[in-house]
Amino acid sequence: MIYATPISGVEYELEPFWSIDMAIRPRPQPRPRFNKGRVFSNSKLVAKFKAEIAVEIGRKNNAPPPDRDVPIHMELEIGIPVQNKRKWGTFHTGRPDSDNILKAVKDAIVDCGVLGDDSQVVATEICKTYCPAPGLVRIRLSRIIVLP
């Protein structure tokens, strides 16, 4: 499939290179808080979430990360756990915000060596839905190949 950037119209293709599905509860990365000159940016729940991602990635056979100048497309599916079966598969429009979960996921995959730097991610697709417990985080990474 051929894609095009919305402003310049540059055409490109996606070359998938890494994916993982994790049955874990997604947690948002909180904004940094300041107190008496000190910066606090992590909560215990986010630290646990990142550690769970690291464990799941550790179980997967990983290839070396792409070079830091390679642009990356990321697909992120977030499943927010809910008891009500009728809601499963429907869109989740409440908190936590998808962009805050994205920050935590990107930090975790960089810490695990899947990517060299999270600034490589230049295009992102995020979908947030309800799902059964414990939750779902599905990540798909693709290299962006610019067409001549």
At 102-117, the pLDDT tens digits run 999 999 999 988 998 9
* Number of domains into which the chain is organized: 1
Q: Which two tokens stand for residue 21?
A: 């599905």
**DSSP state letters, 34-58:** EETTEEE---HHHHHHHHHHHHHHH
Give domain status of residue 9, yes or no: no
pTM across the whole model: 0.85
Range of the domain at 69: 15-146
CA angle 112, 135, 72 (to 5 degrees): 40
Give domain status of residue 135, yes or no: yes
CA distance linking residue 15 with residue 12, whole number of Å = 10
Q: Which two tokens stand for residue 9?
A: 């119209």
Give domain status of residue 101, yes or no: yes
Predicted pLDDT of residue 28: 87
pLDDT level of residue 88 (50, 70, 90 thresholds): very high
- Asked if residue 79 has pLDDT above 90, the reply is yes
At 14-73, the pLDDT tens digits run 999 999 999 999 988 876 666 777 766 657 888 898 899 989 988 886 778 888 899 999
| Residue 140, domain CATH | 3.30.1330.70
CA angle 110, 102, 133 (to 5 degrees): 110
Q: Which two tokens stand for residue 85?
A: 């079966």
Give domain status of residue 51, yes or no: yes
Give domain status of residue 7, yes or no: no
